[in-house]
Amino acid sequence: MAHNIIAVIADCDDTLAPDTTAQILGRFRVDADRFYDNDVEKLVHAGWDPALAYMHEMILLTKQEGPLRNLTRQRLTEIGAELTFYPGIPEAFPELKERIEEDPRYKPYDIRVEFYVITGGIEEMLSASRLRKELRMIWGCNFAYDSDGRISVPRNVVSFTDKTRFIFAIQKGQVFDEDRNKPYKVNEPMEDEERRIPFRNMVYLGDGPSDIPCMSLLKNEAFIIGILNKEKPRRSWALGYGRRANITVPPDFRSGEHGYIQLHEALKHIADNMRSAFEYQRSRREAPKF
């Protein structure tokens, strides 16, 4: 199977955007620092999964006269449409895609770029954002809703190691809506040469602890770009000291800035390797036979 697709896979919160849950809370005048450092952290120390902990605390804030009592499905999508992203997002994605796909060095081989997001944030909100149209697929946490449309219970959760499941889904080409309700499909056997996007043709972007399982899975083959975090510098330190990322950059993806430049370099390197593989295959077909 000819491999001609490059996958750029990114976390969202503190990678492509300031924490999206904090953006929701801010709309309802809830102190995000207190929410995370006090309420959520207590549950985590009691053994809760961090993603379940923040979703549970959000649900509690909808009860009775809680500050999130008007947080409905419709309100989530309205907030999603107004989400703030880091500079250059999402504009850098279609621009980089075009630069690779229209490059005369790669165009004869139909080399293509796809973008994915795997996040512990709320998928439904991100799906309403301006980022969504640049993505092949997004996976994240979701709520179920009560009869009034308010969030009621967690429907699905994407925690640390859960993220690796979607890396394999991308690798195997299980990136269609019909694959979403088949959680065991990703574990079905598949020959290496049949896998749509090998790890070597992936770029991963992430900022911290929730990304470590994906980085550990990919670090010997894919390109890994860590995102620096001024407010939480230990996250960035852990990425570099633990050799989880090939390089770390500030959260700025405008043309000419480090994030944009390094992502473009990673894409070019993978595309060059693809071109070399195609040319080698062609030379073998054209070689004289004696």
Q: Which of 69, 43, 45, 67 is nearest to 55 (CA)?
A: 43
pTM summary value: 0.94
DSSP H or E run through 213:
helix 212-218
The most distant pair of C-alpha atoms in the chain lies apart, rounded to whole Å, by 84
Contact by Cβ (8 Å): 223, 266: yes
Cβ partners under 8 Å of residue 167, min gap 6: 9, 118, 199, 202, 214, 217, 218
Question: What count of other Cβ atoms lies within 10 Å of the Cβ of residue 220?
Answer: 8
Question: What count of other Cβ atoms lies within 10 Å of the Cβ of residue 1?
Answer: 10
In the prediction, which pLDDT does 21 show? 96
Contact by Cβ (8 Å): 10, 4: no
Name the DSSP class of 112: E
Q: Per DSSP, what are the bridge partners of residue 112?
A: 5
Contact by Cβ (8 Å): 186, 171: no
The tens place of each residue's pLDDT in the chain, 290 residues long, gives 679 999 999 999 999 999 999 999 999 999 999 999 999 999 999 999 999 999 999 999 998 788 999 999 999 999 999 999 999 999 999 999 999 999 999 999 999 999 999 999 999 999 999 999 999 999 999 999 999 899 999 999 999 899 999 999 999 999 988 898 888 999 999 998 899 999 999 999 999 888 999 999 998 899 999 999 877 767 666 676 667 888 989 999 999 999 999 999 999 999 999 999 999 888 777 655 55
Q: Quick one: angle between helices 50-60 and 20-27, nearest 10? A: 10
User: All domains of the chain, ordered by start, with CATH?
Assistant: 5-18+86-148+156-286 (3.40.50.1000)
Which three-class secondary structure state does DSSP give residue 40?
Answer: helix
CA dihedral 281, 282, 288, 289 (to 10 degrees): 40
In the prediction, which pLDDT does 288 show? 57
Question: What count of other Cβ atoms lies within 10 Å of the Cβ of residue 64?
Answer: 6
In the prediction, which pLDDT does 236 show? 67
Q: Which of 169, 100, 172 is nearest to 138 (CA)?
A: 169
Q: Tokens for 225?
A: 């770009």
Q: Which of 230, 261, 234 is nearest to 247 (CA)?
A: 261
CA distances from 219 to 33, 64, 95 (A): 32, 47, 26
- Residue 6's identity, in one-letter code, is I
Question: What count of other Cβ atoms lies within 10 Å of the Cβ of residue 88?
Answer: 20
- Residue 87's identity, in one-letter code, is P
Contact by Cβ (8 Å): 125, 138: no
In the prediction, which pLDDT does 1 show? 64
